[in-house]
Amino acid sequence: MFKIKIPAAALLSVALMGCEPLTASAPVTTVAAATPVATATAAPLKASNAIKVQNVDVTMLFDGVALQPPAGQHVFMYNNTTYVPLRFMSYALQKSVSWDAKNLKVSVAEPSSSEIVVIKEYLMNATSSPSFTAKNISLNNVKASYVFSGSTKALPQGQSSYLLNGSIYVPLRFLSESVGNSISWNPKTKTITANSKNYEENMASAKPTDKGTSPSASATPAPAATPVAEPGGAAGGSGSAGTGSGKVSYESITSETEAKLSALQAQSTSTLLGIAFEYVAATDAATKQSIKARGLEQLASFKASFNSIIADAEQKLNTNGYSTAIIAQYRAAFEAELDRGRAAAEGMGK
């Protein structure tokens, strides 16, 4: 029987922030090096190269859909260059991101099936449009190398990458040219527009080719919604009602769910560990409190994603007439790991 493993390391990282850590030991960097996320907390920062800028109120459109970066992430201008959060932009472009802390390397590539699940979950929480608040922000310069689909790309002369709240910021044009997507910046409307090749091709094909009355493509309507066998039921006709081909197998549902949970595990581990590293490095109580609050918000977000995945699985099991007993196992395993992480954190704080 499958047992979901949400490692205590991920949950421990937030619980750890409730204790007073002693030092950030070398093994922490080793863990971060194996963590698949563009979180550069372990990278060496140069305080002397810190910059102070103000965030910019922008509209961001990805294949026609408006998205907003998560709380705590911004878009800003520096030396006439627009900077954007790398992970958010990459996810919005349907790309995966990984961070190699040992070699200070960021890799952006096509996502695997499990990474696509994480990206979609991430973007589900990026469609709201919170009211904009102007802020003066301070970012540290971080020297990192960048690899896009296996090819190393260097930042243009005179431009840098910066770190804020565990997120790397890169020049918009550099990202656009590196990922191969059409990304534009309209300074008048303060709008960033990013289109995939498939989206642009679909938009081009949707445009009428002539203005006459020739029926051409539009004369043939799209096929009407053909009755399709619903999971576990019949879709008209005289087929076998109870065993229609549309029924999803139990193994398929649970395998898909476990893949989603494993992907969520990877994302939560990397993100929360990055926040924990920031907490360890902070030197004043106010900063620690702010980082702790952000960590708890992230944990709540991941718990919400977990509940969403479980609710979807339960609905599919019910629809197809299967037992939902495994749902309780998923929840029990998750809560047990959460309790172990908290207990370990309390022990480390003594």
Average pLDDT of span 229-252: 52
- Provide the pLDDT confidence category of residue 266 given band limits of 50, 70 and 90: low
Q: Quick one: pLDDT at residue 131?
A: 72
Q: Quick one: pLDDT at residue 69?
A: 85
CA distance 139 to 48: 11
Q: What is the pLDDT of residues 307-327, one digit of tens each?
A: 878 888 888 898 899 999 999
- Provide the pLDDT confidence category of residue 263 given band limits of 50, 70 and 90: confident
Q: Quick one: pLDDT at residue 166?
A: 77
Q: What is the pLDDT of residues 289-302, one digit of tens each?
A: 888 877 777 777 77
CA distance 111 to 17: 31
pTM of the model: 0.51
Average pLDDT of span 66-77: 86
Which residue type, as a one-letter code, is found at position 82? T
CB of 101 closer than 8 Å to CB of 143: no
Q: Quick one: pLDDT at residue 15?
A: 52
Q: What is the pLDDT of residues 120-148, one digit of tens each?
A: 878 877 765 567 888 899 888 888 899 99
- The residues with which 78 forms a beta bridge, in sequence order, are 81
pLDDT of 231 over the 50 cut? no
State the DSSP code for 346.
H
End-to-end CA distance of the chain: 37
- Provide the pLDDT confidence category of residue 153 given band limits of 50, 70 and 90: very high
